[in-house]
Structure 1
């Protein structure tokens, strides 16, 4: 379980943030939205990609998908999603618990602009039933993430935008 490295990360970098552990799984966007009583878009999903020789994390709104054209325009290469065992090996987190905190390996982290539709997002926290509540800009600052526009919000989603 990779919950402890995430707790250690927050203890060292943002002790005001509490890791929330639920009895039910929050391993998918739908399960997480129900478990934490938020809109699906507020679930900050973390995907692990490889672009050439670089492995990186992209954190985006739960209702967004990685847009390969935007990614290629931004980085000059097409991304490839890592297989589950590769994700666990580089992040130290299980599928459904992958997050940009307490990583087993230092990785470049990118936050997609789709997260900025919300004042608060809920990324996983190293386990399939753990998460944190955090402002997107605070998450980016804590993780040293770079903001990018590589996501595509799904047409059926109508997020609540900031006022």
Structure 2
């Protein structure tokens, strides 16, 4: 399945006028730390996609790899009751397995929040449809590609 989902991300990038910057890392990019080590950037530059349930709505939070997401802040920003999503539901509604959820190319259009902390970086990296593929982009393009809005989503220390 990952081959098809990576191709879906490539097609979505190209359709949106974004360069195909997808790269494969066989050692894996499942976690933000693994992805940062693979591409050679700070963990904070990894745009990790976390899917939540907002009732029957799909809520995608694209967070800086250095941050933990505060569910209460996500609920406040979306006006939805937010719950953690299990892996099967995530795969069914997005078409991606956990560890490879991309910020675009979803089977079901999600409500998207983009972590405001990502705006501090010129270049960010996001999952490209599999736990071994990422693509390089900018925070501004990430907002445009995902159709998201910026929000403060990180847990306070």
TM > 0.5 fold call: yes
1:81 aligns with 2:84: yes
Match for residue 21 of structure 2 among 8, 18, 21: 18
Alignment of 1:1-163 (within 5 A): 1=2, 2-152=5-155
Cα offsets for 1:43-73 (capped at 9, x unmatched): 1100001123422101010011111332343
* TM-score, with structure 2 as normaliser: 0.89
Asked if 2 retains the 8 angstrom alpha-carbon contact of 1:68 and 1:78, the reply is no
Q: How far apart are 1:15 and its partner, in Å?
A: 4.3
- Structure 1, unpaired ranges of 5+: 156-163
Number of residue pairs aligned between Structure 1 and Structure 2: 154
* TM-score, with structure 1 as normaliser: 0.86
User: 4+ runs of 1 displaced by more than 3 Å?
Assistant: 75-78
Provide the alpha-carbon RMSD of the alignment: 1.7
Distance 1:130 1:76, change over 3 A: same
- Structure 2, unpaired ranges of 5+: none
